[in-house]
Structure 1
Amino acid sequence: MTPAERSEPAIDAAERPMLEGWLDYHRETLATKCAGLTDAQLREASVPPSPFTLLGLVRHLTEVERFWFREILAGEELPDLYCTEEDPDGDFSVTESDTWAGTESVWRAEMAAARKVAADHRLDDLSQGVGSAGKPFNLRWIYTHMIEEYARHNGHADLVRERVDGATGV
């Protein structure tokens, strides 16, 4: 497994560049976990009958990017990309027609949109949308949550990748 275009976050950055650096680091860590695998390997379930795959994980984090930055922070009303009322976990429901090229393209587009939305906000700015408790979030909380979300799922990706082809690390 070779590292993607990923750099270590600065150890002496100010708060915002530090948060952005860590989020980008974890985004690219996930890309690295997927690097070099075929579409079939990316669709390979970790522990059947669980539908958990690397491709499904990228689709899930695409939905998460879209939700937190565009829907919650910016208040946009957007449909889910993969999930439906009939299949609320549709992000993990990959089929033979789902490819890395298509999935990565949508994921990177959502990351770019997230960066654009975030650039228009200060860390203390409150979101337009609210959470289940009816309260808004500041951008600092969203960044911290996204770092946690990626870090946790990158741990899952480590295990799935090792099961798929034996590769570990990075």
Structure 2
Amino acid sequence: MAVERIDPPRTGGERETLRAYLDFHRATLVMKCDGLTDEQLRRRASPPSTLSLLGLVRHLAEVERAWFRRVVGGEDVPLAWSPEGDYQAAYDARGCARAEAFAAWEAEVAHARRIEAAAPSLDTAYHAARWGEEVSLRTVMLHLIHEYARHNGHADFLREAVDGTTGA
């Protein structure tokens, strides 16, 4: 599953730059998983933690779903891996295959891109029930960039533990 990672612009509009950085981090996650077997993708970093590369893919699918479909899009959809709303459930990928996790993640990214493109402005506010307050599209996009950047740091260590590969 090779992916081309874009180089975010050094100048440009705010929305274009936010989109580019979010796509850069999405592509980084895919690169960290490239070339590994399902078993390698499910390998846990340091048991008893269930954190694995595949768990990160599942978690970030949930993050995309929660923020773009539920908050910005206003859709009444449950979490993909926990109808009870337990975000931690996605991390446990023991019974999951690459195809399932990446299909869910790719679908959520496609929804997110569509919803973001349709939003009128970065200043448009949406109710984030989890936080109990209004958030702008700008905040949502920055939050997703933060989520990916943090978890891509985890992915660096996970990948190195699997096969020694470093760098992005």
TM-score by length of 2: 0.93
For residues 18-47 of structure 1, what are the alpha-carbon distances to aligned partners after superposition, in whole Å with 9 as ceiling and x for unaligned?
Answer: 000000000000000000000000000011
C-alpha spacing 1:88/1:155, structure 2 compared with 1 (3 Å): closer
C-alpha spacing 1:132/1:100, structure 2 compared with 1 (3 Å): closer
Q: Could you tell me whether the CA contact under 8 Å between 1:73 and 1:137 is conserved in 2?
A: no
Number of the residue aligned with 1:146: 144
The 1-side partners of 2:85 and 2:140 are apart by: 28
Number of the residue aligned with 2:154: 156
Question: Secondary structure at 1:59's aligned position in 2?
Answer: helix
Q: Could you tell me whether the CA contact under 8 Å between 1:60 and 1:92 is conserved in 2?
A: yes
Misfit runs of 4+, over 2 Å: 83-88, 129-134
Q: Could you tell me whether the CA contact under 8 Å between 1:69 and 1:114 is conserved in 2?
A: yes
Number of the residue aligned with 1:66: 65
Residues 43-62 of structure 1 aligned to structure 2 (within 5 Å): 43-62=42-61
Q: Could you tell me whether the CA contact under 8 Å between 1:84 and 1:90 is conserved in 2?
A: no
Tell me the amino acid that sits aligned with residue 35 of structure 1: D
Question: Secondary structure at 2:134's aligned position in 1?
Answer: coil
Tell me the amino acid that sits aligned with residue 69 of structure 1: F
Residues 74-153 of structure 1 aligned to structure 2 (within 5 Å): 74-85=73-84, 89-96=88-95, 98-121=96-119, 122-127=121-126, 129-153=127-151
The 2-side partners of 1:68 and 1:84 are apart by: 16
Q: Across the two proteins, how many residue pairs are aligned to each other? A: 167
For residues 69-111 of structure 1, what are the alpha-carbon distances to aligned partners after superposition, in whole Å with 9 as ceiling and x for unaligned?
Answer: 1101121111110124496521012124x11122111101100
The 2-side partners of 1:79 and 1:86 are apart by: 7
User: RMSD between aligned alpha carbons?
Assistant: 1.7
Tell me the amino acid that sits aligned with residue 112 of structure 1: A
Tell me the amino acid that sits aligned with residue 91 of structure 1: A
Number of the residue aligned with 2:6: 7
Q: Could you tell me whether the CA contact under 8 Å between 1:72 and 1:130 is conserved in 2?
A: yes
Q: Could you tell me whether the CA contact under 8 Å between 1:42 and 1:55 is conserved in 2?
A: yes
Tell me the amino acid that sits aligned with residue 116 of structure 1: R
Please identify, of 129-138 and 25-34, the stretch whose mean Cα deviation from structure 2 is larger.
129-138
The 1-side partners of 2:71 and 2:125 are apart by: 10
The 2-side partners of 1:86 and 1:5 are apart by: 33
The 2-side partners of 1:125 and 1:94 are apart by: 35
CA shift at 1:133, angstroms?
A: 4.4
